[in-house]
Chain A
């Protein structure tokens, strides 16, 4: 009887210890990664593309959302995600924007979003090197973003962090019709400046 009680007590202690260790481990991981929401007011996703190979046309996407979690202790655990609504394309010319929404270009009814989901994060000097899946026009390619920044700022009790990056894309790599590339050019530069507000 005493032996049975003792063994029960021992088992309960062991279980508590295992649960406590595993729970405390999770808690540590949760607290290490800070989660941020994309701040649309202080961020921008803009692009420029060649026109007739003599100049640049600039544009931006006005409807962007995303979130990122930054683990300062174990940067590999950090994640970055961004979703851009293609319908919100804005090149400061309503007629051109309408044309860009058509299936010859973004095909916004078929492909309403452009997304980026990180798959691996590596710290570099002054930021992070983020590999991830970039999906545009129904085609997903793996790309590497060099996110510069990451400095935190506390304003009115809310923590903010910001990153900047630029990437060069070939539209033909994303299922855009090569015949429709014409005077606008195949390559486009995308500039992302995003600020996150801690949840």
Chain B
């Protein structure tokens, strides 16, 4: 049952927690690129953790569902991997090899013990393995392209903002497709990444360090989070493959800002171009999802405005009807 007030509270708490952590550390000392990455990773972890507590999100250990596996295995793993692979001494080939293997493993972990593996149609198993491979390839491609853009344009903040928009849109789409908890997970993720990216951007601007500062970890965590929300929404919920693909690829439209017409404009102009181009397909998907929601779940909504699934009756109404307790 969606609870907008709770979601708003969660968003603010997660964002403030992450931002405060980054501000507190960067205020105390000037940090190097590697250390800023570590600070960002810890800030996201803190923000997400506090956000999940604020949202009273339940998960099980040992992980039983895909969402449990995302929260307890995939998300901590990407935090650890990003804290290691972002070290300058790690060669690019190894870094991207590890990231591709992780993307492949993440897809396999999320789908673990589901009907896709335990009860596949005859001869469909190899096709499903190909789908997992394609998913891992797509995640790595998006991850690589955004990381490269970040270094090329020396701007991570606008890319992180674009990713935040995508993650939040993915969450809303998953919710509109009927999987409320799966979509709600996107709220603390978006908030923590947003808070971290904005304050990290601020820290970079005021830094006297001559080293190039690109908190790439924010991008990596965002891409994996986006992928996980969409993957779970598609394979366990009812999010269509087309919508999931569009939402996954949308952040790469940030590259349009590298077209000479836009690249030579002001810094803010580049940020606006990136956000507008990424927001356009997201809006299309959200509108389509809303239309699907109205079509699929309209029969569940009574004409007098009482929604079977999303509203609770008032205690007074229940008392008036003398509700009998369950036997």
**Residues of A bordering B, CB below 8 Å:** 50-54, 93-96, 98-99, 102-104, 107-112, 137-139, 168, 175, 177-180, 182-185, 187, 189
Contacts and interface: CB of A to CB of B under 8 A. Distances in A.
Interface stretch (B42-50, B205-213, B294-302): B294-302
B313 A183 contact: yes
Q: In the complex, which range does the number of interface residues on chain B fall in?
A: 35 or more
B70 to A, nearest CB: 12
20 contacts: A52-B306, A52-B312, A93-B299, A94-B299, A98-B296, A99-B297, A103-B182, A104-B182, A110-B66, A110-B113, A110-B114, A137-B64, A168-B326, A178-B58, A179-B58, A180-B181, A182-B1, A183-B1, A183-B309, A183-B312
B238 to A, nearest CB: 7
Nearest to B326: A187
Contact of B300 (A95, A112, A182): A95
A182 to B, nearest CB: 4
B312 A102 contact: no
Contact of B179 (A93, A104, A137): A104
Interface string B177-212: 011111000000000000000000000000000000
Contacts of B313: 52-54, 183
A104 B180 contact: yes
A104 B181 contact: yes
B128 interface: no
Given A180-B1, A183-B313, A93 B300 contact: yes
Top 5 A-B pairs, shortest CB-CB distance: A138-B64, A182-B1, A52-B313, A187-B326, A95-B299
Nearest to B64: A138
A107 B65 contact: yes
Given A52-B312, A54-B313, A182-B312, A107 B297 contact: no
B24 interface: no
A54 B1 contact: no
A95 B301 CA distance: 11
A53 B323 contact: yes
A50 B115 CA distance: 29
Contacts of B306: 52
Contacts of A95: 296-300
Nearest to B315: A53
A108 B60 CA distance: 17
Contact of B309 (A175, A179, A182): A182
A134 to B, nearest CB: 16
A175 B65 CA distance: 10
A94 B300 CA distance: 10
Given A54-B323, A109-B116, A182-B309, A102 B56 contact: no
B92 interface: no
Interface in B62-105: 64-67
A47 to B, nearest CB: 13
B121 interface: no
A184 to B, nearest CB: 8
Nearest to A50: B326
Interface string B300-319: 10000010110111000110
Contacts of A187: 326
